[in-house]
Chains A and B, each alone.
Chain A
Amino acid sequence: MILIPCPHCGPREQTEFTYGGDAGVSRPGRPEDADDAAWIEYLYLRDNPKGEHVELWQHTFGCRQWLRVRRNVVNHEIVAEEET
């Protein structure tokens, strides 16, 4: 079980959270100005690092806040987290 330290609720089990994926991708700010390459980058391409990964988790069965978590995806160690 991964324990995720929620800044509001303290360390909670992963089953209370919903995964939100890579926190590094952001939707093009002005969609009408974004070209295909920008949309492909946002929708599909990921760094998928074998190491530290910054990702989103929502504390769905807790405070419902979205967190930005830096987690090592090889050993699941959580290095840092902050509210989005």
Chain B
Amino acid sequence: MSRYSLASLVRHGLTGHRGWRPAWRHPEPKAEYDAIIVGGGGHGLASAYYLAKNHGLTNIAVLEKGWLGGGNTGRNTTIVRSNYLLDANAKFYEHGMKLWEGLSQDLNFNVMFSQRGVLNLAHSKGQLETFRRRGNAMRLNGIDAELLNGEQAAEFVPGMDVGRNVRFPVEGGLLQRRGGTARHDAVAWGYARGADQRGVDIIQNCEVTGIRRDGQGVTGVETSRGFIATKKIGLAVAGHSTQLAAMAGVRLPIESHVLQAVVSEPVKPVLDTVVTFGAAHLYVSQSDKGELVMGGDIDGYNSFAQRGNLPVIEHFTACLLALFPQFSRLRILRNWGGIMDMTMDGSPIIGTTPVPGLFLNGGWCYGGFKATPASGWVFAHTIATEQPHALNADLSLERFHTGRVLDEKGAGPYPWLH
């Protein structure tokens, strides 16, 4: 398989761009694999990629019920950051940030990672103090964090309403300059191509309908394309982790909820960073196509419908207009919803399960996209060695049994509040 480069671009240009080959194969499933990853989104493909690259395990398959990156990988707001308070989360997401920084080169695929900064705005002195605490915790973990006062925030985001005569004046914010955005589809495609080049079979339109196990552990998966034998199964199906784990008799501390996002019609460059509104919940950035990409809270009730409801959109667009009144005449172009695994403490679950040979990567709540590289990295380690990596040891399923929960927000066991 050829590498993408300036030379290859020129060479194909001279022949009218008729020589490009598909970036990955469409193989028929084999009867047996050393390991099977269920879910062909970013996390599943990254896991397969790092299994092949870091652990030399290439007789593996990724099974996807639809098409690659067609689930939550294609339904997020593409924000990448590692501004977490708790040590376990901070170290895990920061490992991800470091992988992001070299990802395009590593994959030989442009994931368009843009470190345009992520600014969390504070609207009261008290909120700014909690941001100071989080920023200090981040810096102790070796992560960049800058506390901005009101004037610095105004300078960083020109065009934002920083007047004092508003309900929620901007008092300052916590800025992570290394944060930013990436092209979500390219992440899935880049990992798919990298995994495929190393011999991984990526099998689309193949839905897993059952998990077979015997006294020792798992023995294979039933799929819409027949039975496939394996001794190791990695689930990377966030949104439906409950359903897949149930096939092996495992109950999870997860509820599924719908999270919405919208994009506006495209306009010329107006916003060159990611801004979050702290008095309610909004995150907004501008895509390379010029659309404003934004989202807010989950709808707040159990849902498996990949569409949401207007009250949440009304809420976060109100936040947007509070910050940027000049956007009031923009129209919404598209809206969509994705199904989130909401865990009982708001942190993800990556690790082993009570069933030998069954591994779980899920519970991403609504922070899964930024974790894609780190998630794949540690999940590959977990599957290959059957032990968690140091970075996901605390993200285990057992933490709900031992009481070592990672409640970043302090919301308690109410998934709809995380």
Contacts of A71 in B (CB 8 A): 301
A45: contacting residue among B243, B252, B300, B416, CB under 8 A: B252
Contacts of A53 in B (CB 8 A): 302
A84 at the interface (CB under 8 A from B): no
Q: Are B302 and A55 in contact (CB under 8 A)?
A: yes
Bound: A40/B416 CA distance, A:
18
A80 at the interface (CB under 8 A from B): no
Q: Are A73 and B302 in contact (CB under 8 A)?
A: yes
Bound: A47/B344 CA distance, A:
13
Q: Are A43 and B413 in contact (CB under 8 A)?
A: yes
Give the Cβ gap from B407 to chain A, nearest Cβ, in Å. Answer: 12
B336 at the interface (CB under 8 A from A): no
A30 at the interface (CB under 8 A from B): no
Bound: A76/B416 CA distance, A:
17
Give the Cβ gap from B280 to chain A, nearest Cβ, in Å. Answer: 15
Contacts of B77 in A (CB 8 A): none
B238-278 contacts to A (CB < 8 Å) = 240, 242-243, 251-256
B401: contacting residue among A22, A36, A74, A75, CB under 8 A: A36
B-contact bits for A1-45, CB 8 A (1 contact / 0 none):
110000000000011000101100000000000001000100111
Give the Cβ gap from A40 to chain B, nearest Cβ, in Å. Answer: 6
Q: Count contacts on A: residues with CB < 8 A to the other chain.
A: 23
B414 at the interface (CB under 8 A from A): yes
B400's closest neighbor in chain A, by CB?
A44
Contacts of A73 in B (CB 8 A): 256, 301-305
B311 at the interface (CB under 8 A from A): yes
Q: Are B242 and A48 in contact (CB under 8 A)?
A: yes
Contacts of B255 in A (CB 8 A): 21-22, 46, 48
- With A36-B401, A50-B304, A74-B304 in contact, is A44–B309 under 8 Å at CB? no
Q: Are B416 and A21 in contact (CB under 8 A)?
A: yes
- With A21-B416, A43-B344, A45-B252 in contact, is A1–B302 under 8 Å at CB? no
B256: contacting residue among A2, A14, A50, CB under 8 A: A50
Residues of B within 8 A of A (CB): 240, 242-243, 251-256, 300-305, 309-311, 344, 400-401, 413-416
Residues of A within 8 A of B (CB): 1-2, 14-15, 19, 21-22, 36, 40, 43-48, 50, 53, 55, 71, 73-76
User: What are 6 inter-chain pairs, A to B, with CB distance below 8 A?
Assistant: A1-B309, A1-B311, A14-B311, A21-B414, A43-B344, A48-B254
